[in-house]
Chains A and B, each alone.
Chain A
Amino acid sequence: MLDADFFRRWMRTAAASVDREAERLTALDSAIGDADHGSNLRRGFTAVATALEKEAPDTPGGVLILAGRQLISTVGGASGPLYGTLLRRAGKALGDAAEVDEEELAAALRAGVEGVMALGGAAPGDKTMIDALMPAVDALGTGFGAARAAAEEGAAATVPLRARKGRASYLGERSVGHQDPGATSSALLIAALAETAEADGE
């Protein structure tokens, strides 16, 4: 079972990972976006880590809702409301349970991904974060490691795609051949989840 502390550690691990990989995310974004994905997410996840230190929600849902709220208010780019919605929707789906199992987490993340799709209007294959998140959520049923592998494969599979959403869509064919920064950061978020679970011996 996963408790609030597990979710706090997941968010802290994600923050550390985004901080470490910020330059790579921004480099990917400079190819097909506006070169701010890494710095925007670093600002957002730093705010998440700080907020979780000040306020310690005692449920998994509470942790995700607080994190999502921080991302919406501090990121400054489209990834803020998108990741914010992912975490908030997932948090709301978990309700006020003190502990949740993997199946409940998978269902909650699926609700989050559906919220992101509704907000941004993106579908699988549009070269967005959905291309990493959707396969990860599908694979979560078979374990955290499978979810990480599926997210990484999904992110890599965005390379040949043509962007149909966001700033990259203006580039049309020129967006082909570049890995999507949003799918890449989504894979980091799922990898942080797997890392947290492994550290727990889950």
Chain B
Amino acid sequence: MSEDRPVGIVLVSHSAQVAASVAELAKGLAGGASAVPVAPAGGTEGGGLGTSAELISAAAASVDRGAGVAVLTDLGSAVLTVKALLAEGDELPEGTRLVDAPFVEGAVAAVVTAAAGADLDAVEAAAAEAYGYRKV
């Protein structure tokens, strides 16, 4: 970890409730993860289902401590909006990365790993690894 600064985590879902609940779940399961900044960016600004570029930018800015920001998304427009914002260049903090991971499992893995003091590469790897865990 660079000078004890934690990686920030942003959770983007089509639903405000899903994003907020997954954030709560991940922090809860990570135990002493209070030091890890986690921000949900769910739904549209009007409270409907969808994706808001403004909410994503604000969430990423709010969790940026200078060690990078890992963004996890659910599907469709959430993925495309984050990719488009990254392509813009100046809409998200430097060191922001879209992490290819399952939403719930990846969020838990990311927060736990960040809480252990890992850097952005390790957080990304842990979240992506959640794809490899088969349930049956």
Chain A interface residues (CB < 8 Å from chain B): 36, 40, 69, 72-74, 76-82, 84-85, 88, 119-120, 166-167
Contacts and interface: CB of A to CB of B under 8 A. Distances in A.
Contacts of A79: 77
A72 B76 contact: no
20 contacts: A72-B84, A72-B85, A73-B52, A73-B54, A74-B53, A76-B44, A76-B48, A76-B50, A76-B77, A77-B51, A77-B76, A77-B77, A78-B77, A78-B80, A80-B84, A81-B77, A81-B80, A81-B81, A81-B84, A82-B80
Contacts of B80: 78, 80-82, 119-120
Interface of B: 44, 48, 50-54, 76-77, 80-81, 83-85, 87-88
Given A73-B53, A76-B51, A84 B77 contact: no
Given A78-B76, A81-B83, 11 more contacts: A36-B50, A72-B85, A73-B52, A73-B53, A74-B53, A76-B44, A78-B77, A80-B81, A81-B81, A119-B80, A119-B83
Secondary structure type dominating chain A contacts? helix
Rank and list the top 6 A-B pairs by shortest CB-CB distance, nearest first. Answer: A76-B50, A81-B84, A78-B77, A81-B80, A73-B53, A76-B44
Secondary structure type dominating chain B contacts? helix
Contacts of B50: 36, 40, 76-77
Contacts, number: 49
A119 B82 CA distance: 10
Nearest to B76: A78
B86 to A, nearest CB: 10
Contacts of A80: 51, 53, 77, 80-81, 84
A85 B77 contact: no
A80 B44 CA distance: 12
Nearest to B78: A78
B69 to A, nearest CB: 18
A175 to B, nearest CB: 15
A73 B50 CA distance: 12
Contacts of B48: 76
Contacts of A81: 77, 80-81, 83-84
Contacts of A82: 80
Contacts of B84: 72, 80-81, 84-85, 119
Contacts of B83: 81, 119
Contacts of A73: 52-54
Among B83, B85, B88, find the residue whose CB has the most chain A CB atoms closer than 10 A: B88
B87 A85 contact: yes
B37 to A, nearest CB: 23
Contacts of A40: 50
Contacts of B76: 77-78, 166-167
